[in-house]
C-alpha cells in the first residue's frame, strides 16, 4: 500500500466519524493554543525586560571599578539590579593605564576607556547649563556605537571638544531671566559652536544675587570648548543626559579644580572604566575575566540575565500549564483511536483477509492519529496568533498591569520557530497517542474480527 | 485439468481449547482440490466446515496435519507471509458482504489492488472490468449503504475476482439473500470462476447451493461424511477417508 493511499484512507475514516474527530482535534487545538500562548507570554516578558533595560543603557557595556570603589565612591552609575559582584580578596588593584591595557586584551572586548565623571557648567553666550560630563578616550564613542545625529563624533586627537547628549541641549537657559519663562524643554541655543565656556564654577553666568560672598569664593578657571556633535542613538540614558569630552582634558580640568579647592587629585588611576563587548553573549565571560584581575564589574547584562531567568521561570510554569492541556488532548486522541478500533474491528479483519499487510494496518491508524495531531496543531497555531493579537492590542493595558508591567510594548511574542515546533510536537503527540491503539489493531486476529458479526 | 492437486489437505486436525475442555472442530480430514474445480462444503452449524475453510485460507493453523497450496506449505507460513500469500492467491466472498462503508463501490473493489500496490490507473481499469463482469456498471460512486443486498454481494464478488486470484473462497455467500437473488449471485460467481479457470470453494448449509458445485463434500462432526461428484469434468473421483 503506498503512502498516498494510506493517507487518503485515513482521512476518509476520520471524516466518517465527524463529531468524534472534531472533538479530538479540538482537544489538540486547545492544548497547542495553550502551550503557544503561554510560551509567547514568556517571550513577551523577556523582550519587555530587554526593552526596558535598553532604555537604561547599553547592554554591550561593562563598567569596571577598582575593588572597594563600588558603592563607596559616590560615583556609582549603574546601581540597580544585578549588583556589582566583586572579587573576594581585598587586595587593592589600581585601575590605571596598565590595567586598561590588560582589559583591552581580553577576548571579546572591542573597546575600553577609562572614565572620569564631573559636573560642569557650560556657557554659550548668555545661556548656561550644568550637566554631568563624562570623560572618555575620544576615539571610543564611535567604537561604542554612539551615533551622532548632528555634527560629528569625537575622534582621536580631539582636545577641547564636547559631544552633547540629545536631552542636554535643552538644559541651556538664561539665568538672568526667571526660570519659568526661559525653560521650555526646547533647545534655545545651537550647541555646535566654537564659543563654549566650560568651568567647574557652578555660579558662572549667574546674576549677582546668586554669586557667593567674596571671601568664600574659589577662583576657578574657565576653558574654551568647541561643541562638535549631538548624540542620537542608541536611545538610552547614556546618549541622552550626559555630555562627553576627551578624558585628558577633563582630567586637567579636575586637577586644576582640585588645586583651586586645595584638594589632592590623583591622575594616575581612574575611578571607573567602560568596556564595550561586541557580542552581548560574551558580556558575562568578559565580566568574569575582569573580576579575576581584581576589579569589580557591573553591566546591565547582569541585570538582564537575572530578569530573564525570572522570565524563564514564569515561562516554564506557564508552559507547564499549557503542557497539561496538551496531555489531556493526547489522552483524547488515544481514546478516539481506541474507540475507533473497537468500532472497526470487523473492518480491520476484512482488510487483513483480503490482503492488507500488518504494517499497513498499523500505519493506517498511526496516520489517522497523526492527522488529528497535525490538523489540531495547525488550527491551534492559527488560534494562538489570533489570541496573541488580542493580547497585544485589546488586552494590553489589562494584562500589563496584572503582570506588573514589564514595560514591553507587546505581551505576547511568537518567535518563528515556535509554530513550527508546535506543529511538529502536536503531530508527534498524535502519532504517539495512536501508537498503542494502532498496535492493537495490527494484532487483532482477522478471524476473531470476522466472527464479530 | 492438472494432475497434481492445487490444494492438498493431509490429515488435518483442529482442536480448540475452551478452558479445561477440548473441542475437536476437525478430526482428521484429508482431501485434494484441483484447479478449476468448484467444491461445495455442506454442513450444519458447528460441523467444522468453516474451520476447514479458515485453515485452507491460512486464517487459522491446524493443530496437526499439512495444508499445501500450489506447492506452498501454508500451515508453516507466519502471519506476514500468509497475508502476502492471500493477497496474491486468494479472493474472499463473505456472507455479510463486509464492504467498507466509507468507500465507494469502485474503491471497495480496488481495495485488494491498493494493498498490492497496483498503481491507480491500472487498478481502476481492473476494477471497472470486474464491475462490468458482475453487472454493476454505473454504480462506481455508490456507497454500500445505498445498495441492496444483492448489489452489495456483487460488489463483494467483484472485489474477490478483481485481482485474478487462483482460488476463491465463499463463506455462505448467499446467506443473507432471498432465493431469487441467490440464484442470480450464484450464477455470476460460477460464470466468473469458469471463465477464468479459477478454483472455488463454497461453504454453506444450503443444499440448493450445492447444485452449482462439481463436488459436494458433506461434513459432520469434524469429519468428511460423504463426497458427491456432480460434474466429472470439473472434479476428481478421489475418495477421502
Instruction: Look at B94 and A355 and tell me if their CB atoms are within 8 Å.
Output: no
| Burial (CB count within 10 angstroms: exposed 0-12, middle 13-18, buried 19+), residue A70 | buried
Q: Are residues A126 and A221 in the same domain?
A: yes
Instruction: Looking at the structure, tell me whether residues A242 and A310 fall in a common domain.
Output: no
When the pLDDT of each residue in chain A is averaged and rounded to a whole number, the result is 80
B55 and A CB contact within 8 Å: no
Domain contains A112? no
Please tell me whether residues A256 and A124 are part of one structural domain.
yes
- Low-confidence residues of chain B: pLDDT under 50: 1-2, 234-241
pLDDT of A82 higher than 50:
no
Q: Express each pLDDT in A174-195 by its tens digit.
A: 877 765 555 566 677 787 777 8
Query: What average pLDDT does range A308-327 have in this prediction?
Result: 84
pLDDT of residue A183: 56
Whether A306 has a pLDDT exceeding 70, the answer reads: yes
Provide the CATH number for the domain around residue B45: 3.40.50.300
Q: In this structure, is residue B6 part of a structural domain?
A: no
Assess whether pLDDT exceeds 50 at residue A69. no
The per-residue pLDDT for range A14-55, each reduced to its tens digit, is: 888 888 889 889 988 988 898 898 888 888 888 877 777 777
For residue B143, give every residue at least 6 positions away whose Cβ sits within 8 Å of its Cβ, in sequence order, or none: B101, B102, B103, B104, B105
| Total CB pairs under 8 A between chain A and B | 62
Measured between alpha carbons, how far is B102 from B145 in angstroms, rounded to an integer? Answer: 9
Q: Residue A75: its pLDDT value, please? A: 39
- Tell me whether residue A344 is in a domain: yes
Tell whether B83 lies on the interface with A, counting CB pairs under 8 A.
Answer: yes
Which chain B residues are Cβ-neighbours of A350 within 8 angstroms?
94, 98, 100
Instruction: Give just the sign of the alpha carbon dihedral A396, A397, A398, A401.
Output: positive
End-to-end CA distance of chain B: 23
Chain centroid to CA A447: 64
Q: Establish if A181 belongs to a structural domain.
A: yes
Do the domain assignments include residue A147?
yes
Q: What is the DSSP letter of A273?
A: E
Domain count along chain A: 2
Q: Does A5 touch chain B (CB under 8 A)?
A: yes
Q: What is the pLDDT of residues A351-404, one digit of tens each?
A: 888 888 888 888 988 998 899 999 999 999 999 999 999 888 887 777 666 655
Find, among A381, A433, A347, the residue nearest to A24 by Cα: A433
Instruction: With respect to residue A64, please indicate whether it lies within any of the assigned structural domains.
Output: no
A296 lies in some domain: no
Domain tally, chain B: 1
Helices and strands (H, E) in chain A, number of each type: 14, 10
Q: Which of A2, A354, A446 sits opposite B112 (nearest CB)?
A: A354
C-alpha cell of residue B176? 443473507
* pLDDT value of position A257: 84
Report, as an integer, the average pLDDT of A126-132: 85
Strands (E) in chain B, as ranges, are 7-18, 21-33, 38-42, 64-69, 72-73, 90-93, 167-171, 199-204, 215-220, 223-229
Cβ-based contacts of B175 with chain A (< 8 Å) = none
Distance CA A55, CA A41 (A): 21
Q: Are residues A45 and A131 in the same domain?
A: no
Any domain includes A294 = no
* Residue at which a domain ends, from A210, A228, A262: A262
The predicted-structure confidence for A207-227, as pLDDT tens digits, reads as follows 777 777 777 777 788 888 888
The 10 Å CB-count burial string (b at 16+, else e) for A288-300 is: ebbbebbbbbbbb
What pLDDT is recorded for position B232? 61
Does residue A408 or residue A90 have the better pLDDT?
Answer: A408
Residue at B188 is within a domain: yes
State the angle between helix axes of A300-343 and A417-443 in degrees (0 to 180), rounded to the nearest 10. Answer: 30
Q: Which domain holds residue B136?
A: 35-61+78-229
Among the partner residues A15, A16, A356, nearest to B115 by beta-carbon distance: A356
Give the Cα separation of B157 and A219 in Å (integer): 118
> Residue A236 pLDDT > 70, yes or no?
yes
Measured between CB atoms, does B154 come within 8 Å of chain A? no
* Residues A36 and A148 placed together within one structural domain of the fold: no
**Is B30 within the bounds of a domain?**
no
Residue A267 has pLDDT above 70, yes or no: yes
Asked, for residue B68, whether it belongs to a domain, the answer is no
Domain range holding A125?
117-262
Select the residue of A352, A447, A453 nearest B54 (Cβ to Cβ).
A447
**Residue B140 three-state SS:** coil
Q: Do B98 and A352 touch (CB under 8 A)?
A: no
Answer whether residue B239 is part of any domain: no
Cβ contact B87–A5 (<8 Å): no
Of A13, A358, A360, the CB nearest to B102: A13
B38: which strand partners?
B200
B116 touches chain A (CB under 8 A): yes
Partner-chain residue, chosen from B59, B79, B83, that has the shortest CB–CB distance to A355: B83
ipTM: 0.86
Mutation choice for A interface testing from B84, B115, B123, B143 by most A CBs within 10 A: B115
Q: What is the structure's pLDDT at B57?
A: 87
Nearest-Cα distance to chain A for B238, in Å, is: 30
Are both A356 and A420 inside the same structural domain?
A: yes
Grid coordinates belonging to B222: 469434524
Rg for chain A, CA atoms, rounded: 34
Q: Rounded to whole angstroms, how far apart are CA atoms B164 and B91?
A: 8
Residues of A in Cβ contact (< 8 Å) with B104 = none
Separation between Cα atoms, residue B115 and residue B118, nearest integer Å = 8
C-alpha atoms less than 13 angstroms from C-alpha of B193 in its C-beta half-sphere: 30
B59 and A CB contact within 8 Å: yes
Contact between B80 and A358 using a beta-carbon 8 Å cutoff = yes
Q: Does A209 touch chain B (CB under 8 A)?
A: no
C-alpha angle B21/B26/B29, rounded to 5°?
A: 150
CA distance A63 to B170: 90
Contact present, A77 and A234 (Cβ < 8 Å):
no
CB A172 within 8 A of CB A124: yes
Q: Which three cell numbers stand for residue A42?
A: 514568556
How close is the nearest chain A Cα to the Cα of B114, in Å? 6
Q: Which of A262, A295, A327 is the last residue of a domain?
A: A262
Higher pLDDT, A146 or B235: A146
A423-445 mean pLDDT: 87
Dmax over Cα atoms in chain B, in whole Å? 55
Residue A248 has pLDDT above 90, yes or no: no
Amino acid at each position: 500500500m503506498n503512502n498516498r493511499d494510506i493517507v487518503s484512507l485515513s482521512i476518509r475514516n476520520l471524516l466518517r466519524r465527524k463529531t468524534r474527530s472534531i472533538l479530538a482535534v479540538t482537544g489538540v487545538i486547545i492544548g497547542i493554543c495553550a502551550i503557544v500562548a503561554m510560551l509567547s507570554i514568556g517571550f513577551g516578558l523577556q523582550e519587555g525586560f530587554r526593552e526596558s533595560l535598553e532604555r537604561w543603557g547599553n547592554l554591550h557595556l561593562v563598567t569596571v571599578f577598582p575593588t572597594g570603589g563600588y558603592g563607596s565612591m559616590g560615583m556609582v552609575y549603574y546601581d540597580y539590579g544585578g549588583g556589582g559582584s566583586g572579587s573576594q580578596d581585598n587586595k587593592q588593584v589600581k585601575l590605571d593605564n596598565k590595567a586598561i591595557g590588560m582589559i583591552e586584551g581580553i577576548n571579546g572586548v572591542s573597546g575600553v576607556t577609562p572614565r572620569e565623571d564631573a559636573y560642569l557648567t557650560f556657557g554659550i553666550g548668555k545661556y548656561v547649563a550644568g550637566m554631568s560630563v563624562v570623560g572618555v578616550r575620544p576615539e571610543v564613542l564611535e567604537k561604542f556605537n554612539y551615533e551622532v545625529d548632528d555634527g560629528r563624533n569625537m575622534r582621536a586627537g580631539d582636545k577641547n571638544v564636547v559631544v552633547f547628549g540629545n536631552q542636554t541641549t535643552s538644559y541651556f537657559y538664561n539665568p538672568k531671566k526667571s526660570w519659568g519663562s526661559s525653560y521650555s524643554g526646547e533647545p534655545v541655543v545651537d550647541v555646535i559652536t566654537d564659543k563654549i565656556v566650560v568651568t567647574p564654577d557652578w555660579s558662572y553666568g549667574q546674576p549677582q544675587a546668586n554669586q557667593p560672598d567674596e571671601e568664600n569664593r574659589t577662583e576657578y578657571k574657565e576653558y574654551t570648548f568647541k561643541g562638535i556633535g549631538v548624540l542620537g542613538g542608541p536611545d538610552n540614558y547614556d546618549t541622552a543626559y550626559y555630555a562627553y569630552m576627551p578624558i585628558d582634558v577633563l582630567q586637567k580640568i579636575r586637577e586644576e579644580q582640585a588645586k583651586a579647592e586645595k584638594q589632592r587629585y590623583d591622575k594616575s588611576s581612574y575611578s571607573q572604566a567602560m568596556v564595550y563587548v561586541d557580542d552581548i553573549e560574551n558580556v558575562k565571560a568578559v565580566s568574569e575575566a575582569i573580576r579575576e584581575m581584581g576589579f569589580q564589574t557591573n553591566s546591565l547584562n547582569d541585570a538582564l540575565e537575572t530578569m530573564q531567568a525570572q522570565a524563564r521561570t514564569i515561562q516554564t510554569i506557564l508552559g507547564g500549564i499549557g503542557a497539561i492541556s496538551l496531555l489531556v488532548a493526547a489522552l483524547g486522541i488515544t481514546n478516539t483511536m481506541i474507540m475507533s478500533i473497537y468500532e472497526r474491528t470487523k473492518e480491520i479483519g476484512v482488510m487483513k483477509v483480503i490482503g492488507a499487510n500488518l504494517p499497513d494496518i498499523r500505519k493506517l491508524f498511526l496516520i489517522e492519529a497523526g492527522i488529528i495531531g497535525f490538523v489540531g496543531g495547525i488550527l491551534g497555531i492559527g488560534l494562538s496568533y489570533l489570541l496573541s493579537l488580542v493580547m497585544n492590542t485589546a488586552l494590553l493595558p489589562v494584562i500589563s498591569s496584572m503582570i506588573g508591567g514589564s514595560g514591553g510594548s507587546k505581551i505576547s511574542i511568537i518567535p518563528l520557530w515556535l509554530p513550527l515546533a508546535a506543529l511538529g510536537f502536536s503531530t508527534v503527540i498524535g502519532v504517539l497517542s495512536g501508537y498503542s491503539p494502532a498496535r492493537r489493531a495490527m494484532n487483532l486476529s482477522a478471524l476473531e474480527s470476522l466472527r464479530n458479526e | 485439468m492438472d494432475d497434481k492437486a492445487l490444494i492438498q489437505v493431509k490429515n488435518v486436525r483442529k482442536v480448540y481449547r475452551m478452558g479445561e475442555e477440548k473441542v475437536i472442530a476437525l478430526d482428521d480430514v484429508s482431501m485434494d482440490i484441483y484447479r478449476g474445480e468448484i467444491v461445495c462444503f455442506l454442513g450444519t452449524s458447528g460441523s467444522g466446515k468453516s474451520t476447514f475453510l479458515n485453515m485452507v485460507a491460512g486464517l487459522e493453523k491446524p493443530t496437526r496435519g499439512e495444508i499445501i497450496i500450489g506447492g506452498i506449505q501454508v500451515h508453516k507460513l507466519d502471519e506476514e507471509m500468509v497475508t502476502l500469500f492471500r493477497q496474491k492467491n486468494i479472493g474472499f466472498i463473505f456472507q455479510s458482504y463486509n464492504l467498507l462503508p466509507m468507500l465507494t463501490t469502485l474503491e471497495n473493489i480496488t481495495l485488494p489492488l491498493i494493498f498490492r500496490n497496483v498503481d491507480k490507473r491500472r487498478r481502476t481499469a481492473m476494477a471497472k472490468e470486474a464491475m462490468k463482469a458482475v453487472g454493476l456498471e454505473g454504480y462506481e460512486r455508490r456507497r454500500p449503504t445505498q445498495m441492496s443486498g444483492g448489489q452489495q454481494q456483487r460488489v463483494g464478488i467483484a472485489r474477490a475476482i478483481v485481482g485474478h486470484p487462483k482460488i476463491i473462497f465463499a463463506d455462505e455467500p448467499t446467506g443473507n439473500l432471498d432465493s431469487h437473488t441467490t440464484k442470480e449471485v450464484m450464477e455470476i460467481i460460477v460464470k466468473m470462476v469458469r471463465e477464468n479457470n479459477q478454483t472455488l470453494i463454497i461453504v454453506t448449509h444450503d443444499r440448493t447451493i450445492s447444485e452449482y458445485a462439481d463436488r459436494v463434500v458433506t461434513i459432520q462432526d469434524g469429519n468428511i461424511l460423504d463426497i458427491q461428484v456432480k460434474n466429472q469434468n470439473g472434479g476428481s473421483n478421489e475418495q477421502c477417508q
